[in-house]
């Protein structure tokens, strides 16, 4: 079945009723629709919200969306941001409004979510071998001639499984696939050698349910990544593309695709993709960076390419997790009521940024998050730390990929705390 009207699907999110499922929201808002609560424009600190509560800065979100739009345009790149970072259809729509080619996803469920909200072009950064998912995909492609879908392929066995499932499903349009080149022998998925790539390309050519349209990979998996190592792998990816083109693998295509780009090395991607020689068919250079939406206060703050090329601009951390101090057992220790259920912790711990007491905001001087329990944050406090039970502590978070999935409905905040919208996630 083809996707619903995207405007109707997005509008329906505002009709969802507030209840106990959505943590941090005001208890007295139960029964209101999301749209009705948003229209009240409550204050995050005085409007009945309970801690812990995650807030997304409206201004910083807009800044980050605009910055990556102009970056892609400046470098001649199409942009398919990785939607699995947020799984928020409202963000998908805003990214498309900002000129995104489409959305990148990782697993079939995510593709179904995106299609339910009208996403017209999807890049699945994985090999798709699930027969049930392929049957659904065949029906979606059959029903909607405008739907564009591309996925990885990295094995002859994968080609065989895809072909069998699509044939059984009666697919009347071939599924576009790109060869995934591994970022190294110890990397994650992907083909290890160019010789294997040609074997797989020939297998695709023999399957009328599939169409080879290019090459792709993820440079973030390059072992001991550095600009030099990442650049070398990207040039290898480009060389594979050129050799496949010379071998006539892309004859009669409207365009060929080359794709890479996480959130740590997209400057290298832009640089190497600018070197690609003219091919026999038009070229779509597809960047997939996704964590830029909210950026972060840890991992990507240190690794962002904008640190290496500051004249390109700067992303801004857009999340603050607000928790309350619930225990101050000693002069060097305090505990908040936010833990692993609320904050990302797979790469870096949260960083205390601001303290709110009696309506006044101040810097979180001398306060360090040293650990997370299931529902407590461990704080180490220096002598200069001004903190007591009842204070609200605003913390910056690392790795947005594991922040969004902990919150189903996220307040979007302007200025000094006015909540102007709510972001629905669908993991």
Q: Indicate whether this model's pTM tops 0.75.
A: yes
CA distance 17 to 35: 9
Residue 26: left (phi > 0), alpha (psi -120 to 50), or beta?
beta
Q: Mean pLDDT, to the nearest integer, of 247-257?
A: 97
Examine the pLDDT at 186 and tell me if it is beyond 90.
Answer: no
Q: Mean pLDDT, to the nearest integer, of 349-355?
A: 97
Span 321-350, pLDDT tens digits: 999 999 999 999 999 999 999 999 999 999
User: Using 50, 70 and 90 to split pLDDT, how confident is the model at 29?
Assistant: very high
Q: Domain boundaries in the chain? A: 6-57+316-424, 120-289
* Number of neighbours of residue 152 by Cβ within 10 angstroms: 25
Span 356-402, pLDDT tens digits: 999 999 999 999 999 999 999 999 999 999 999 999 999 999 998 89
Query: According to CATH, what is the number of the domain 6-57+316-424?
Result: 2.40.37.20
pLDDT of residue 48: 98
**CA–centroid distance for 416 within its chain:** 27
Span 263-296, pLDDT tens digits: 999 999 999 999 999 999 999 999 999 999 999 8
pLDDT of residue 2: 45
pLDDT of residue 8: 86
Span 64-92, pLDDT tens digits: 999 999 999 999 999 999 999 999 999 99
- Across the chain, what does the average pLDDT equal? 96
Residue appearing with tokens 């959130």: 263
CA distance 94 to 77: 18
352 within 8 A of 361, measured Cβ to Cβ: no
Examine the pLDDT at 1 and tell me if it is beyond 80.
Answer: no
**CA–centroid distance for 330 within its chain:** 40
Examine the pLDDT at 302 and tell me if it is beyond 90.
Answer: no
Q: What angle do CA 213, 172, 243 make, to 5 degrees?
A: 15
User: Using 50, 70 and 90 to split pLDDT, how confident is the model at 4?
Assistant: low
* Architecture in CATH for domain 120-289: Alpha-Beta Barrel (3.20)
Distances (CA, A) of 248 to 56, 198, 251: 48, 12, 6
């Amino acid at each position: 079945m083809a996707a619903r009207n995207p405007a109707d699907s997005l509008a329906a999110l505002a009709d969802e009723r507030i209840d106990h499922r959505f943590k941090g929201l005001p208890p007295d808002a139960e029964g209101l629709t999301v749209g009705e609560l948003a229209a009240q424009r409550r204050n995050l600190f005085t409007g009945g919200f309970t801690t812990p509560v995650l807030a997304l800065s409206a201004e910083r979100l807009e800044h980050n969306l605009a910055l990556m739009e102009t970056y892609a345009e400046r470098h001649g790149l199409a942009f398919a941001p990785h939607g699995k970072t947020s799984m928020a259809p409202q963000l998908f729509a805003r990214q498309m409004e900002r000129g995104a080619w489409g959305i990148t996803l990782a697993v079939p469920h995510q593709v179904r979510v995106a299609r339910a909200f009208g996403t017209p072009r999807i890049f699945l950064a994985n090999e798709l071998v699930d027969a049930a998912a392929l049957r659904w995909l065949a029906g979606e492609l059959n029903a909607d001639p405008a739907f564009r879908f591309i996925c990885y392929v990295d094995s002859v066995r994968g080609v065989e499984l895809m072909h069998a499932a699509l044939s059984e499903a009666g697919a009347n349009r071939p599924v576009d696939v790109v060869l995934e080149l591994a970022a190294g022998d110890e990397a994650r998925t992907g083909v290890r050698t160019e010789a294997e790539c040609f074997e797989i390309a020939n297998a695709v050519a023999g399957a009328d349910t599939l169409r080879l349209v290019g090459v792709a990979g993820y440079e973030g998996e390059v072992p001991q990544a550095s600009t030099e190592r990442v650049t070398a792998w990207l040039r290898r990816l480009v060389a594979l593309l050129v050799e496949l083109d010379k071998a006539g693998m892309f004859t009669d295509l409207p365009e060929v695709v080359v794709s890479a780009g996480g959130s740590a090395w997209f400057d290298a991607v832009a640089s190497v993709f600018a070197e690609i020689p003219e091919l026999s068919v038009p070229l779509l250079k597809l960047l997939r960076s996704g964590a830029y939406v909210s950026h972060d206060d840890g991992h990507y703050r240190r690794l962002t390419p904008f640190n290496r090329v500051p004249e390109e601009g700067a992303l801004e951390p857009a999340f603050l997790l607000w928790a309350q101090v619930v225990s101050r057992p000693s002069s060097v220790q305090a505990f908040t009521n936010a833990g692993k259920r609320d904050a990302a912790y797979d790469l870096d711990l949260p960083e205390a940024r601001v303290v709110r007491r009696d309506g006044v905001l101040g810097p979180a001087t001398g306060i360090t998050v040293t650990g997370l329990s299931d529902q407590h944050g461990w704080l180490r406090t220096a002598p200069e730390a001004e903190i007591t039970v009842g204070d609200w502590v605003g913390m910056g978070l690392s790795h947005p990929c594991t922040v969004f999935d902990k919150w189903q409905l996220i307040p979007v905040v302007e200025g000094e705390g006015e909540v102007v919208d709510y972001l629905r996630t669908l993991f």
